[in-house]
Amino acid sequence: MRENLHRFFRAARGAGVRVSPAESIDAMRAVSEVGFADRAILRDTFLLTLAKTQDEKRALGDCFDLFFSRPEPQEEASEQRKSDDQEKAGGDPAAEAHGGAAGGVQSEIVGPLAQMLLSQDRGAISAAIANASGAASLPDIRYFTQRGIFQTRILDAMGIQRLRDDIDDLTASNPALAERLLDALNGLRGTVRDAVSQALLLYGREEAENLRNEILRNAPLARIEPRQVEQMRILIRQIARRLRERYSKPRKRQRRGHLDVRRTLRRNAAWGGVPFLTAWKRKHRDRPKIVALCDVSGSVARVSDFFLLLIHSLHEVVDDVRSFAFSGNLIEVSRILESKPPEEAMAEIMSKVGFGSSDYGNSLADFEDGWMNTVTPQTTVIVLGDARSNNLDPRADILRRIGERSKRLVWLNPEGRMTWGFGDSEMPRYATFCSVVRQCATAKQLERAVSDIVATYQ
Amino acid sequence: MADTRPIASIEAVESGLAAQGYIASRQIATAVYLSQQIEKPILVEGPAGVGKTELAKAIAAWRGMKMIRLQCYEGLDEAKALYEWKYAKQLLYTQILKDKLGEVLGGAQTLHAALDQLHTFGDVFFSKEFVEPRPLLQALEQPSGCVLLIDEIDKSDAEFESLLLEILSDFQVTIPELGTVSAVAAPTVILTSNSERDLGDALKRRCLHLHIGFPEQRLEERIVESRVPGISQVLRKQMVGFINEIRTLDLKKLPSVSETIDWARVLVLLQASELGHEIVKDTLNVLLKYEADIEAATPQISSFIAKASRQGVFS
């Protein structure tokens, strides 16, 4: 049983529940208290000791149901053996007299696997599969590409070679029986396939997800396929959560060395003003204020979409976000993004300004006319765009003024550095007025960029 | 009188808590049972008003133990949570004992000798008598165990969490001047959190994690039955059904169990025999705490009452 518990913990890790050794020890102790008799209680026990958030509880509950949904192979096997023994003890002479009535074959002729299949003993078969899975170390399965190899290994361990030989022998002597065995073999293949698929679901999920996420993180945002958009959204939310956890720690730091006279006097009033307890001045740190200008024309639109999603899911870290979208002209979109789910919000923004040909000069002029006062010395201004202004006046002078007013001016460009300055790209001209210019094409670069921006306030 | 015998079974927990008027779901009972058996604190999370704090009170009442409560807030530090030196008393005693000290040290010829003599008295002024125990230390010092409720741990600072770790895992605290104080009897520790911020992994690892959500309809009816005995069965079914319908709306603050109980009391006071449109509309402010929520719910009242009454017919 201990072995089974360990396998369950591994499956739980596969399901995304972080089970530390200490927690598994606790779970073991708890299980030894409540026992295995009541499945609902056992489930509750695991949920209490292993899962530490609502999401983890849900994942672990599913994992538990999946793991314990199949019959317990070990116990059933022993029961089966018991009943077999009883049958043998009780009906030995009769069986002998019948001379193997089940198909009329002597047990010496066919191998154990063929016997098992012919007797249609489900318990024994599933026990044999479980044993063979153990021998083939099925819990080590990680990727779906390994399914075939594990099926072969399990069938080998169950003695499929002998079964094939038996079938070959029997096709000559007893074709009907050979046919039955062939059918049974096909059935067995199906069962083993299911067992392997279930194991992959239990043990391989984490690896598969990690692999997929790693690929997604490094894929260029502008060119991902529509079906991956939803996965990318999930990934962006994960990134946002990670950034929140990292940067939402209290922003107060005690500044030793500067006595806060007022608070010290008040705190020590009980002792006649004799300063037993000292109070030191604290320094408050500002939360980031962000003004984001996003190009939503053509190729940059997708990147802007994810960028805006990320920025707007950082509520606990970022104090104030004003976002603006532009292509030919510029509008404020903060309200739209906050009141609607991301898909609808993006669709509305696109219908208002999207997919025009971009005019950076005009858009910057719009910003200066309407919202220049949102930029304060505490603000970080982020411009996301490819700086391709269709040979119109880039109005870099406005960008200079924005840079002078703000704490930092960051330009994120989804294009590679090699292409900056070629064709109608105005990047080199803009870059002179920015504090930081970086490429930002993948989720990974996006995370780095936003993380750096937030970190400058810590 | 404190009941120090171990709890026999999960059913015993359920019936014991029920005797105190706390109707526990199976999961809550399992958590309480396990926390006694493997001596682990319980971290209770869930929305406001589902009975997280009540659970601790019920356990204390059932086991006949003292309940010590530590309410967390931003800026809570060890002087307020753990222990503090009684400065005034120390000061007073040094004044009173001045003469005595003079006598004792009088024989010393040099300053050095006087200092040596002073050392032989040890840390008179930093001994147990001058420690003012705060809730955490009090809990460890209870001879017959107690229920320690650390309420709304998510409101405290991250540093305070680290302070708790030693107590939660080993039931002991270290006071630099005195050494380590271990618990006389391991207290039952309950931590509650409204998930206002994510707690550290180190803290979570040391606790059983119990999430109390809104109860199922049956369970909620039983809770109302035990808390507001005067209410008729028909009305109870209707009102719980109604509240469950309200919880399907997208509201700022969903009504939780404490609101259900308050509402039941109000309905009993108004001598309502069944839910009607008027009476619900007049008392909706007991359930919903935001003007926007009340506005959102008002148009639905009639259909919800109809649904809730239909449920009553079939079940």
User: What CA–CA distance (Å, rounded) separates B212 from B54?
Assistant: 12
State how far residue B179 is from chain A, nearest Cα, in angstroms. 23
DSSP string, B152-166: TGGGS-HHHHHHHHH
Residue of A nearest to B46 (CA): A54
Q: With CB atoms and an 8 Å threshold, state whether A26 touches B38.
A: yes
Q: With CB atoms and an 8 Å threshold, state whether B38 touches A249.
A: no
B chain contacts of residue A30, beta-carbon cutoff 8 Å: 34, 37-38
B chain contacts of residue A271, beta-carbon cutoff 8 Å: 87-88, 91
Cβ density class B9-22: b for 16+ within 10 Å, e for less: ebeebbebbbebeb
A418 lies within 8 A of chain B by CB: no
A456: Cβ contacts below 8 Å, ≥ 6 apart: A288, A380, A407, A408
Retrieve residue A100's tokens. Answer: 């193997």
User: What are phi and psi for residue B70, nearest 5 degrees?
Assistant: -120, 110
User: What CA–CA distance (Å, rounded) separates A224 from A302?
Assistant: 9
A57 lies within 8 A of chain B by CB: yes
Strands B66-71 and B146-151: parallel
User: What CA–CA distance (Å, rounded) separates B166 from B168?
Assistant: 6
B252 lies within 8 A of chain A by CB: no
User: What CA–CA distance (Å, rounded) separates B225 from B237?
Assistant: 10
Q: With CB atoms and an 8 Å threshold, state whether B88 touches A30.
A: no
State how far residue A56 is from chain B, nearest Cα, in angstroms. 11
B chain contacts of residue A248, beta-carbon cutoff 8 Å: 197
Retrieve residue B99's tokens. Answer: 């003469």
SS3 A273: coil
pLDDT of residue A88: 41
Whole-number Cα distances in Å, B170 to A296, B117, B181: 57, 38, 11
Among candidate residues A444, A373, A18, the one with its CA nearest the CA of residue A216: A444
Q: With CB atoms and an 8 Å threshold, state whether A33 touches B197.
A: no
Instruction: Tell me which long-range contacts B102-110 makes (C-beta under 8 A, separation of at least 24).
Output: none
* Structural contact between residues B213 and B28, judged by C-beta atoms closer than 8 angstroms: no
Of B38, B91, B198, B250, which to mutate for an interface test with A (greatest number of A Cβ within 10 Å)?
B38
Assign residue A99 a region: left if phi > 0, alpha if psi is -120 to 50, beta otherwise? left
Residue of A nearest to B196 (CA): A316
State how far residue B162 is from chain A, nearest Cα, in angstroms. 14
A with B: how many residue pairs have Cβ under 8 Å apart?
A: 61
User: What CA–CA distance (Å, rounded) separates A375 from B285?
Assistant: 43
* Structural contact between residues B274 and B234, judged by C-beta atoms closer than 8 angstroms: yes
Residue of A nearest to B207 (CA): A49
Q: What are the boundaries of each domain within chain A? A: 2-69, 79-206, 289-455
Among candidate residues B182, B177, B187, the one with its CA nearest the CA of residue B128: B177
Encode chain B (315 residues) as per-residue pLDDT tens digits: 455 567 778 889 999 999 988 888 888 999 999 998 888 999 999 888 888 899 999 999 998 999 999 999 888 888 888 888 888 888 888 888 877 777 777 777 788 888 887 777 666 777 888 888 899 999 998 888 899 999 999 888 878 888 888 888 888 888 887 888 888 888 999 999 987 777 888 888 889 999 998 888 888 988 998 888 888 888 888 888 888 888 888 888 888 999 999 999 998 998 888 788 888 888 888 888 888 888 888 888 888 888 887 765 554
Q: With CB atoms and an 8 Å threshold, state whether A249 touches B158.
A: yes
* Structural contact between residues B81 and B162, judged by C-beta atoms closer than 8 angstroms: no
CA torsion sign for B205, B208, B214, B216 is positive
User: What are phi and psi for residue A362, nearest 5 degrees?
Assistant: -65, -40
B26 lies within 8 A of chain A by CB: yes
A47 lies within 8 A of chain B by CB: yes
Q: Which of B30, B157, B158 sits opposite A44 (nearest CB)?
A: B30
* Structural contact between residues B225 and B234, judged by C-beta atoms closer than 8 angstroms: no
User: What are phi and psi for residue B242, nearest 5 degrees?
Assistant: -60, -45
Residue of A nearest to B31 (CA): A48
Retrieve residue A46's tokens. Answer: 């695991």
Strand ranges in chain B using DSSP code E only, listed in sequence order: 42-45, 66-71, 83-85, 131-133, 146-151, 172-175, 179-182, 188-193, 208-211
CA torsion sign for A349, A351, A354, A357 is negative
User: What CA–CA distance (Å, rounded) separates B225 from B218?
Assistant: 11
List, in sequence order, the alpha helices (H) in A268-371. 301-312, 334-339, 342-353, 360-371
What angle, rounded to 10 degrees, do the helices at B233-246 and B277-287 form?
60
Q: Cβ of A376: how many Cβ atoms within 10 Å?
A: 12
State how far residue A32 is from chain B, nearest Cα, in angstroms. 10
B162 lies within 8 A of chain A by CB: no
User: What CA–CA distance (Å, rounded) separates B251 from B260?
Assistant: 16
User: What CA–CA distance (Å, rounded) separates B188 from B4?
Assistant: 11
State how far residue B257 is from chain A, nearest Cα, in angstroms. 20
pLDDT of residue A108: 52
DSSP string, A173-204: H-HHHHHHHHHHHHHHHHHHHHHHHHHHHHHS
A chain contacts of residue B31, beta-carbon cutoff 8 Å: 44, 48
B289 lies within 8 A of chain A by CB: no
Strands A252-259 and A280-284: antiparallel
State how far residue A340 is from chain B, nearest Cα, in angstroms. 14
Q: With CB atoms and an 8 Å threshold, state whether B34 touches A34.
A: yes
Strands B179-182 and B172-175: antiparallel
Residue of A nearest to B32 (CA): A48
Q: Which of B30, B31, B211 sits opposite A54 (nearest CB)?
A: B211
Whole-number Cα distances in Å, B182 to A2, B81, B136: 33, 16, 11
The CATH number fitting domain A289-455, selected from 3.40.50.150, 3.40.718.10, 3.30.413.10, 3.40.50.410 = 3.40.50.410
ipTM of the complex: 0.81
User: What CA–CA distance (Å, rounded) separates A319 from A287?
Assistant: 5
pLDDT of residue B87: 84
Encode chain A (458 residues) as per-residue pLDDT tens digits: 777 888 888 888 877 788 888 888 889 988 888 888 888 888 999 998 888 888 888 888 888 888 877 544 333 334 444 444 444 433 333 333 333 334 444 445 677 788 777 777 777 887 888 888 878 888 777 777 888 888 888 888 888 888 888 888 888 888 888 888 888 888 888 888 888 888 887 777 777 777 777 888 888 877 778 778 888 888 888 888 778 777 766 555 555 678 888 888 888 888 887 888 888 877 666 677 888 888 888 778 888 888 888 877 776 677 788 889 888 888 888 888 888 877 788 888 888 887 678 888 889 999 999 888 888 888 889 998 888 888 888 888 999 999 999 988 999 988 888 888 888 888 888 999 999 898 888 888 888 888 888 888 76
State how far residue B43 is from chain A, nearest Cα, in angstroms. 9
* Structural contact between residues B187 and B140, judged by C-beta atoms closer than 8 angstroms: yes
Q: With CB atoms and an 8 Å threshold, state whether A41 touches B30.
A: yes
B227: Cβ contacts below 8 Å, ≥ 6 apart: B21, B261, B264
B chain contacts of residue A250, beta-carbon cutoff 8 Å: 157-158
Q: With CB atoms and an 8 Å threshold, state whether A30 touches B37.
A: yes
A25 lies within 8 A of chain B by CB: no
Strand order in the sheet with A379-384: A330-332, A320-326, A289-295, A379-384, A408-413, A436-439
Assign residue B182 a region: left if phi > 0, alpha if psi is -120 to 50, beta otherwise? beta
SS3 B175: strand
Whole-number Cα distances in Å, A388 to A161, A327, A357, A359, B23: 67, 11, 9, 8, 66
B197 lies within 8 A of chain A by CB: yes
State how far residue B13 is from chain A, nearest Cα, in angstroms. 13
Q: With CB atoms and an 8 Å threshold, state whether B209 touches A41.
A: no
Per DSSP, chain B holds a count of helices (H) and strands (E) of 16, 9
- Check residue B199 and report its DSSP letter: P
SS3 B191: strand
B8 lies within 8 A of chain A by CB: no
